[in-house]
Structure formats: C-alpha cells, structure tokens
Amino acid sequence: MKDGSRDLSVENTLGQIETDFQPILMAIRRRQNLTPLQRTKLAIFTAAMMGRSKKQGDQWLGQWLEHVEKVKRMEEMFEVTEPSLSQKLEQGLENSHAELVINTIKAAAPVLSGMTLTILTTNDSDGFITSDAPAVMYNPKAHRLPPFYRSPGLLQPDVEVSLPLSPQELALYCHQPLRYLYTPISNDVLDEVNRTTYFFAQEEFISRKGNTNEKWFEERAAPLDAWENRQPMENNQVSS
C-alpha cells in the first residue's frame, strides 16, 4: 500500500481456500462421494489455480500494457500534460495479478460448479505430472476453428478444465454428462493427459519420481479435420 503497509486479503483468501481443499483431497483419496459443498469448494480451488499461475498473470498484464501503450500514444497526439489516464492505468496494474486471482475465482468458480466433474484416477507409480500452470483450460475441438477463434472459454460446449490434485487423481470439468465421479484411466490416456499438462506449462513441470515419458513431448501434425487442412479441399470444391 502507499503507506508502506501490506494488504493481505488475497493471501488470506488463498490460504483459506487451500485449507478448505485438504479434507476434500482426503475424501477423494478414499474415493468417497462429494457433498455439494465439497464440490463447490473444489470448484473454488480450481478457479484459484487457474488465476494464480505466473503464466496467467503475465498474459493478463501483457494485454493491459498493450492497452496502456495505445492510450499513451493518444495522449501524446493530443498533448495531454495533466495526470493522465495512462498513469492511472499503470498505477492500477501494480497489483494486477492479485486482482486477477480474485476476479477469476468470482467468474470461474460458479461456472465450474455447474459443469460435470469427474476425478480421473490411476495406479501408475509415476502418475499425473503437474506444472507451474497446473489448471489447464483446453478445447479439444478448437483445431476445427479458424486460429482467431481458438482461445478456450468456459462456456464453450466442448471445453475442458483439468487440474492434477495428486499423482493418482486429476479433476476434470466438462459440459458433457458423465455417469461416474471416479473414472480409472488407462496408461495411454494418462500419457495424453500428461502431454496436455506439459504443453500448457510455462517453464517447469513436476514428475513425482523425476521420470519422463517421450510421449509427453510429442509435437504432432494438425489433425485431418483441422481448419487448415480443410481449406484447400473447400477451395477446390468451389473452383470446380
């Protein structure tokens, strides 16, 4: 704060969310059914993890800084000399990541609470990996769209949000109706989930035993139904 004191409201909020999460994780490890309150708290925890990563904070700040630069250019054009809007915006961005975390919780948690939750489970000794950006929002059908429209959003029908909870459990949110809360997965599915976690990491990922799998790092060609692959065919049909 300007007077040198610290506002710990965000830290205290995150601390409470993490405290609430611990008994939920214990219930999940025992494969217990989750009460509506526990599901809500897990959604809040997931939303907090979506907003608190450095990757998310950097992206948010970068978008706003681009806006500030545009405002500065406008101010120079009109020779603004008094305390300017750009200065106020820069001051407001000093704690942008903290505000992003709280705003993400407020916006994302209610949506996640209304989505279908399944806990993917594995008995593999290495299990799920995690990363410095563990909560992944991903649309597996985004490749069918033009690049401009591929950014995932929670209200997209096919979007998924995954969050590793431990090496043996991963929370998966989607809009599709699923029958079971706990879903054991094969090693092939485990590799695909870990590959997604790896490619959405910013700088670091964590493996329980330090082991890695080359399948996590595979860079693949665009699927046959990708938008880019459909364009030549559509153009040929039009020209013929």
The residue extents of the domains of the chain are 1-109, 115-240
pLDDT at position 44 is 97
pLDDT at res. 238:
44
Pair of tokens at residue 111? 């949506």
User: What are residue 116's phi and psi, to 5 degrees?
Assistant: -80, 130
d(CA 108, CA 129): 23
Predicted local confidence at residue 239, as pLDDT:
44
pLDDT of the residue at 232 = 60
Q: Which of 163, 87, 178, 176 is nearest to 129 (CA)?
A: 163
Strand partners, 161: 137, 173
Residue type, 4: G
pLDDT recorded at residue 230: 80
Quick one: pLDDT at residue 70? 81
Contact 218, 198 (CB under 8 A): no
pLDDT number for residue 107 = 94
Please count the helices (runs of H) and the strands (runs of E) in the chain.
7, 7
Q: What is the pLDDT of residue 64?
A: 64
Q: State pLDDT tens for residues 89-98.
A: 777 667 778 8
Q: How many residues does the chain have?
A: 240
Low-confidence ranges of the chain (pLDDT < 50): 237-240
